[in-house]
Structure 1
Amino acid sequence: MIKVEEAKEILSAIKIDRKIKTVSITESVGMFCAETIYSPIAVPSFDNSAMDGYALFFDDIKPVMEISGVVKAGDTLVEPLKSETIVRIFTGAPIPVGADTVVKQELVKIQDRQITIDPGLVKKGDFVRKSGAQCEIGQEVVKIGTKITTGTVALLASLGIAEIAVFKKPKVGVVLTGDEVVGSNEKLLPGQIYDANGPMLHTALLELGIEVEFVEKVKDEAKSVEESIKNLVEKVDILILSGGISVGDFDFVRPALQNLGAKELFYRIAQKPGKPLYAGILGSKVVFALPGNPSSSLSCFKVYVSPFIMRFCGAENTYQSDLKFPLAQAYNSDSSLTLFLKCELKEGEIHILSGQESFNLISFNRATGLVEIPNSDTQSSKGNLYNYYPF
């Protein structure tokens, strides 16, 4: 068995040949930018007002001033400010040549075409957004590898950018083993169980923004398993197998991968749940074989498979845990394995749930994530910080 950190290091080192495509910015949310983007314009591109108010030249300010015009947002032809006058101006409107300050409308009183101001309440440059205050022409605004959000889209749109180069998402497929497993539309016979892994892994991939190529069921026969892997791996970049990876007489996945010439990266990790976890390379494709137990399968997916898929999509440092929280209560372990426990994050503290048995899915319904308890930490104290993997 290898340690948890060793497995993460191996997966972090896999070279990924990412492909790039160009999409409209409205289609790019959730994808990763494949280029560094520099602003083609200055933003704002002209000095403008940050408030509804009155624009003036600060050195001309007097308690009573004459209004000489009006400027609204969208005006493109604006007369220069007349000496010792003030102009009505609205948020986003261009500052007239000769003006350098905006007095917000709450500070003035209006009578006819004159306004009364208390000069002591006004500072030079108030409420003037200068050209280039957000960014100058040629300034870096989005780094390569940035995950695109609606905020990114807003920024790009404000720069007049309509399309963006992004990394293509991987094609992913799922193969299920286990003759005892049947679909929810079938009648359950003695000795059979309903399939949880298929819907679970399908939705876990959808949560990552991955369109699943297939979820296929294969019979627990050596030839069937090998033929399915051989045929289906050609259709995807990442193949996920569920079940059949332990050491039982009907666990055919690992022998099938060996027969097909897969390069094994690791098999079995010193952890609970999910000890019999496999990762390998078959041709140019990455293969993960997860335990058939749903609890173990989902835990392994969240800790190992999901970060790899995000790496493929363009993210970096995906195996470095950036979420750490304290335990709400002490936890004692007699295991020599690293534990991934179902937990609930409440008010910034991790509450370890009951029902940690690998067959028990009730606690998964309540869990907000997994907490990692290292194998060296047999007495986990309240308040200590631990890695948290959100669902």
Structure 2
Amino acid sequence: MISVEEAKKIIEQNIPERKTRILPLKEAFGHTTAEDIYSKYDIPNFSQSSMDGYAIRFEDKDLKLKVSGEMQAGSTEQFHLEKGNACRIFTGAPLPIGADTIVMQEKALIENGYLTVQDNDFEKGLHVRNAGSDAKKNTVAISSGSYLSAAAIGYLAGIGCTEVKVFAAPSVSLILTGNELVQPGENLNFGQVYESNSYQLESVLKQCGIKTIERFWVKRRSFRS
């Protein structure tokens, strides 16, 4: 008998070099990255609002601010926010030039076209997602050896990634031993038990993304003294 650690060392020493392949992002779920993935851009590539509300200059927070202008998500035109003004803004919209903080609409009192901030916890930069806050240009977004979960796939799509280099899934052989074992569904005779380990192991392997799985039965020889 050998220990689990010894068995792991033997396996590691005899594993061939892992094969890699390039997959479209839509087909990469469940695989493992074979190289570092870099972001080509700052994501987001502009500072944006994370709330529906009003963009203001933080230094103006104690003033009555004239509401002038509006920024919607997808806007490609820049808007310059003058001192003493506020700009209506929606979630995902670019921050106006000069603005640095968002007043969420539930914390904004609007009277006769003027805004008063009603937020006791108001602070500079509130509800602003700065450029590059999700990923910085030319930096590692996901490291080599990372499992591509549903969240990771969504994240890579969000930084504009279309394909990834992954390790090819291994093929696994299960070697079953034990003369007392019979397959579920067969008649169970005296001294026999149903073989169940391979079903559990195969399910775990499939859960890990391994699809090529074979089973081999090995009969034990009788030993006589």
TM-score range, shorter chain: 0.7 to 0.9
Cα separation, 2, equivalents of 1:210 and 1:204:
9
The answer to whether structure 1 residue 248 and structure 2 residue 222 are counterparts is yes
**1:166 Cα offset (Å):** 0.8
Residue in 2 that maps onto 1:171: 171
- Pairing of 1:194-213 with structure 2 (within 5 A): 194-213=194-213
Cα separation, 1, equivalents of 2:122 and 2:31:
46
**Could you tell me which amino acid in structure 1 is paired with residue 73 of structure 2?**
A
**1:110 Cα offset (Å):** 1.0
Cα separation, 1, equivalents of 2:183 and 2:120:
77
Cα separation, 1, equivalents of 2:69 and 2:116:
16
SS at match of 2:77: coil
**Could you tell me which amino acid in structure 2 is paired with residue 156 of structure 1?**
L
Cα separation, 1, equivalents of 2:68 and 2:144:
49
Cα separation, 1, equivalents of 2:177 and 2:126:
69
Superposed CA deviations along residues 155-188 of structure 1, whole A, max 9, x for unmatched, are: 1011011221110111123354556544333334
Structure 1 stretches lacking a partner, 5+ long: 216-240, 251-391
Q: Would the alpha carbon gap of residues 200 and 118 (structure 1) be closer, same or farther in structure 2, given more than 3 Å must change?
A: closer
SS at match of 1:160: coil
Q: Would the alpha carbon gap of residues 120 and 203 (structure 1) be closer, same or farther in structure 2, given more than 3 Å must change?
A: closer
Q: Would the alpha carbon gap of residues 132 and 192 (structure 1) be closer, same or farther in structure 2, given more than 3 Å must change?
A: closer
Residue in 1 that maps onto 2:90: 90
Cα separation, 2, equivalents of 1:30 and 1:54:
41
2:107–2:117 contact (8 Å) kept in structure 1: yes
Give the aligned length.
224
Residue in 2 that maps onto 1:348: none
Q: CA RMSD in A?
A: 2.9
- Which structure is richer in relative contact order (CA contacts within 8 A, separation 6 or more)? 2
SS at match of 1:92: coil
Cα separation, 2, equivalents of 1:147 and 1:76:
36
SS at match of 1:12: helix
Residue in 1 that maps onto 2:185: 185
**1:64 Cα offset (Å):** 1.6
1:68–1:82 contact (8 Å) kept in structure 2: no
**1:49 Cα offset (Å):** 1.3
2:109–2:118 contact (8 Å) kept in structure 1: no
Residue in 1 that maps onto 2:133: 133
- Pairing of 1:75-86 with structure 2 (within 5 A): 75-86=75-86
1:78–1:96 contact (8 Å) kept in structure 2: yes
**1:89 Cα offset (Å):** 1.1
Superposed CA deviations along residues 352-374 of structure 1, whole A, max 9, x for unmatched, are: xxxxxxxxxxxxxxxxxxxxxxx
The answer to whether structure 1 residue 44 and structure 2 residue 18 are counterparts is no
2:135–2:159 contact (8 Å) kept in structure 1: no
Superposed CA deviations along residues 23-44 of structure 1, whole A, max 9, x for unmatched, are: 2333323321001111111012
Q: Could you say which structure has the higher helix fraction?
A: 1
Cα separation, 1, equivalents of 2:186 and 2:32:
41
SS at match of 2:67: strand
**Could you tell me which amino acid in structure 2 is paired with residue 65 of structure 1?**
L
SS at match of 1:173: strand
1:71–1:93 contact (8 Å) kept in structure 2: yes
**1:106 Cα offset (Å):** 3.1
Q: Would the alpha carbon gap of residues 249 and 87 (structure 1) be closer, same or farther in structure 2, given more than 3 Å must change?
A: same
- Pairing of 1:1-391 with structure 2 (within 5 A): 1-117=1-117, 122-176=122-176, 181-189=181-189, 192-215=192-215, 241=216, 243-244=218-219, 248-249=222-223
**1:55 Cα offset (Å):** 0.9
Cα separation, 2, equivalents of 1:204 and 1:108:
53
Superposed CA deviations along residues 116-162 of structure 1, whole A, max 9, x for unmatched, are: 23698644333322211232110111111112222211210110112
